[in-house]
């Protein structure tokens, strides 16, 4: 095996963000987390920055560097999702004040500096929240676009269409102008859409497999998932909630679990009705250039086996 793949995780934790961070930290042979940058999303920035550090401490990794990024979307008022994630964004396990520090450097500056320092084409950005930080970095330092290996993002949908509005997925909807900048940047993009994440459901047996690992990280994650799934179970009438964000990290570890196709993707930024819609040319009915790999299918049990095994290593 070669050296681990270098990533920056940009996140708005979020219980499913926690699962993603734990999956990455539990996979040090394949993934090196250069840093975690936080963004306003599921809850305000101060809380996502606290939550990211709580997750690292649950994972036994207080050495990971966490940087706070943007406090609000580029042009719009912040929108949060306490109705899904609870007042803290990380409801479920007993929470605490983290002892590890928040870094002084701003998250956007960290992204720019890291991409300029590391060899070209070696750093992957994994985004689990609104794309504000990445858009700010690309706008302030356009030279970094050529240095990014890939942006692997949780966001958007085609067949599932939307979750926060009838036509938009939360991460794109919160900051559609940021998403537009990213999708027009020319950087290689991989999208983990709702079409994938709605196939990976937190079934009871899957949560119990995680809980039965018995470690601090695993028990905390199981408690988070207990809380997280209740909203979606009621909303969708399913046996479990979709587990969105860890699909990003699972894709890096085992791309063979996923299937999709290269498409043109444009972001709706003008219409009030369909704001934040990812207009995906899945059926290739236009000649617009392909700018993203859009993932649609997943081996759900393979994904949960991977998540459980890696969380068990923490």
**Closest CB to ligand BDR among 144 and 198?**
198
Q: How far is the CB of 262 from ligand BDR (least distance, A)?
A: 22
Q: Which of the choices ligand BDR, Ca ion, none does residue 232 contact, using the CB cut-off of 5 to 8 A by kind?
A: none
Pick between residue 13 and residue 144 the one whose CB is nearest to ligand BDR.
Answer: 13
Query: Given the complex with ligand BDR, which of 112 and 125 has the nearer CB atom?
Result: 125
DSSP tag of 32: E
Query: HSE (CB half, 13 Å, CA atoms) of 298?
Result: 31
The answer to whether 224 and 93 are in contact (CB under 8 A) is: yes
Give the nearer residue to ligand BDR in terms of CB position, either 35 or 89: 89
Could you tell me where the DSSP H helices lie in the chain?
15-25, 45-58, 82-85, 107-117, 132-140, 170-174, 176-183, 194-197, 204-211, 216-236, 246-253, 300-311
For residue 292, list its beta bridge partners: 263
Least separation in angstroms between residue 55's CB and ligand BDR is: 12
Q: How many helices (H) and strands (E) does the chain have?
A: 12, 10
Residue with CB nearest ligand BDR?
170
Q: Which is nearer to ligand BDR, 73 or 144 (CB)?
A: 73
Catalytic residue among 83, 85, 198, 244: 244
Choose from Ca ion, ligand BDR, none: what does 84 bind? Cβ within 5-8 Å by kind.
ligand BDR
Question: Which residues form the interface with ligand BDR (CB under 6 A)?
Answer: 14, 16-17, 42, 81, 84, 128-129, 154, 163, 169-171, 244-245
For the chain, how far is it from start to end, CA to CA, in angstroms?
21
Place of tokens 């709706």: 268
- How many other C-beta atoms can be found within 10 angstroms of the C-beta atom of residue 46? 13
The b/e string for 217-256 (b: 16+ C-beta within 10 A; e otherwise) is bbbbbbbbbbbbbeebeeeeeeebbbbbbbbbbbbbbeee
| Catalytic residue check, 244 | yes
Report, in Å, the least distance between residue 113 CB and ligand BDR.
25
14 binds Ca ion (CB under 5 A): yes
Distance of closest approach, residue 17 Cβ to Ca ion, in angstroms: 4
User: Would you tell me which residues interact with Ca ion (CB under 5 A)?
Assistant: 12, 14, 17, 128-129, 245
Task: Catalogue the active-site residues.
Answer: 244
């Amino acid at each position: 095996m070669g050296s681990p793949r270098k990533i920056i995780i940009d996140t708005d934790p979020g219980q499913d963000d926690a699962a993603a961070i734990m999956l990455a930290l539990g996979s040090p042979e394949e993934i090196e987390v250069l840093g975690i940058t936080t963004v306003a999303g599921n809850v305000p920035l101060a809380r996502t920055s606290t939550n990211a550090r709580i997750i690292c401490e649950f994972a036994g990794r207080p050495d990971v560097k966490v940087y706070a990024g943007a406090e609000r979307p580029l042009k719009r008022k912040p929108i949060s999702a306490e109705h899904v994630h609870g007042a803290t964004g990380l409801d479920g396990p007993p929470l605490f004040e983290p002892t590890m520090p928040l870094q002084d450097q701003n998250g956007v500056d960290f992204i720019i500096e890291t991409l300029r320092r590391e060899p070209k084409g070696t750093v992957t950005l994994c985004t689990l929240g609104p794309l504000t930080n990445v858009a700010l970095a690309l706008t302030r330092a356009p030279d970094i676009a050529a240095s990014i290996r890939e942006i692997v993002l949780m966001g958007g949908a085609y067949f599932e269409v939307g979750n926060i509005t009838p036509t938009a997925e939360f991460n794109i909807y919160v900051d559609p102008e940021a998403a537009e900048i990213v999708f027009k940047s020319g950087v290689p993009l991989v999208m983990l859409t709702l079409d994938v994440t709605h196939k990976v459901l937190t079934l009871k047996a899957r949560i119990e497999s995680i809980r039965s690992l018995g470690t601090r990280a695993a028990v905390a994650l199981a408690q988070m998932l207990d809380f997280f799934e209740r909203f979606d179970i009621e909303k969708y009438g399913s046996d479990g909630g979709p587990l969105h964000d860890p699909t990003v990290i699972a894709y890096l570890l085992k791309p063979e679990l996923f299937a999709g196709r290269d498409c043109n993707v444009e972001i709706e930024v003008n219409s009030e009705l369909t704001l934040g819609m990812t207009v995906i040319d899945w059926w290739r009915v236009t000649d617009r250039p392909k700018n993203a790999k859009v993932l649609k299918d997943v081996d759900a049990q393979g994904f949960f086996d991977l998540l459980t095994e890696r969380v068990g290593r923490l």
